[in-house]
Structure 1
């Protein structure tokens, strides 16, 4: 029996600007459960029974842990598997067992040691992945919402859910007609141990291992990734902090690249007055032929899929503004683009898993004429985004943003909804979180 993996779109819950409990910029000490108390980072590994204490979590990891408690900044994958025969629950569990053995981050959770949060690694032979097979007909959208609302209260950092769709369920892709049994797989991971890139690699490897289990192949449990401290990143961030402190003009420029104004959509459609702000998930399936034509056009114009899709979003926002009666000569549209900080690291192993995502804020000014010449605008946007990557601007924005943020430990996460759109193809995944949504 073989499996067919459909393109994997990533769904996200409300996205907040990066924030963290207040520490001096560049300070890598960790916070106790009480945000005002601090201890020095202990550079040693301790063992206790079947748990290996790794190291106290840093400021950024703690900020993720705090907002996850409120069900936000959760990253989720929803993918559909098609198979020739019924999938056995024990086969899926076996594949996840090997996935966990090959990737230490899947054995990592967060625990209080005294009153300090630590990363710890559980024994790979005894620790089970949080996996549940749900009843056929369970709504994937509602299950995603439940997983977001629950967060990670029990210290577990990875969760997997499988929902049988039934043999008669409609197929979204004609090429899977010989794979009649369909299953929705939902995967979520704690952002302190996994970012979108790490999660996409785990989704791909999970399917490969499931095929190996079904076909009775020998599986080598040799590690395919590492979970390490982010010391090199901290060094770079400390250097950038000093750079911004020594160069006020550069600091001012970096702040100008980040949006401060009211989002366009809120000008046309004011925020509703409700007691509790929530964000729901919307998913759309793009036809395979349309996707291939879009990719071909991107290549012919020298534009990345990410830049082109960002241009699509921006022009759509302009069209929506015009339909709502807001007519201007030009529109200022701000968006956050997710970048992997691994591109800036030299000593960190390429197979490192963890929270290496950072937001690259970008402000685009789109005129009515540009909106009518899409590919010219997409090329301009593509150039702007590339230039920002090569100049370490995403990291500069991150440190400037952290310096201006309140103490998250005291104030709690802000209820400001964000919509994160993701495009996925069999070979690429790109994400963009518009500030204007």
Structure 2
């Protein structure tokens, strides 16, 4: 069945008290918009249209960063959801199939729920939920799954407001019928807006069928305030942790681990407490992430061990059995099989060959203030503690750098490189110097009284 998506993302979100468009606020390291797009992407839609309004350029950039095939259209005036869909329809010209309307600030609709909306056999299908506290949600007037109409809270009577079956806003309609129904919308209501929800009553008046598919209320969580954003983050993390545990991942302290939208962790991986995953992290089966690590844009292979207190930045690639220890930072660097980087080291813009040992305090000096430069280290090399590798530079296979060296020239395979200043020793001078300093300190203390 051919499907297309319309994602409504034009609202300003004034209750967020922010200059940022509401749909660009982040949950699990990704804009709310990306969550909605991810849910819809599971349907493999033929077309996706994002309707932007407030902060349209930023919204378009975010949408295209997730899927560069989407069409982005503008709703210059925010005149309601029906008006927003009107702006999207030209981008669906020629499409034959079902259109699902989603919302950029409703991040948790599940793919299974959308699948269920596609197989009701009705001309119009609306996603509803039983609300614990219906509040100001629109109410669904339905009998045995057949939907008569949707009432906005503002237009409902007290009796109608007592109904607990509420409207999520998500709707599925055949494309040509949607265009016909939207064209007939009016703004004769309390808010003076064109409500997409009015198409249900219009469809029924035409003799068309409408049905309700229900889901858990948690799926329909919308984000309109900072408080709701925090709740959405908590809801996502709770679900991600449960899924990780179900998939065979060990979480030593689940409530302290934070996942991103696209985090992938393999079975039998072990994740310690207080680990934070930024976007773009893959951890293969059997790897171990020790406590207090921050990972982003990196790949960690089977049997690798990271942390504690390590930071992996975008472009970090760890092969099998690599060990990255405490207070090590890796950025845009490839570490081949069996590399050991024990502690207190920065590796940026580098490639380290297999089974090489990187001593404590090593730094790849990769930035000259304008450009980044690369460091290449061969297999089975030994980089002594406190080595400064001034890129661009190459250290050959099996080579050795002496502790405290500044390496500014290439080191051939199997060579020893020393780059230290000559040490001078002055017998007895330390005693004289300390005595002089103590006298100066005593005079200063005396003068301060």
- What's the TM-score once normalised by structure 1's chain length? 0.22
Q: Of the two structures, which has the highest relative contact order with CA contacts closer than 8 Å and spacing of 6 or more? A: 1
Which one has the largest radius of gyration?
Answer: 2
Higher strand share: 2
Higher helix share: 1
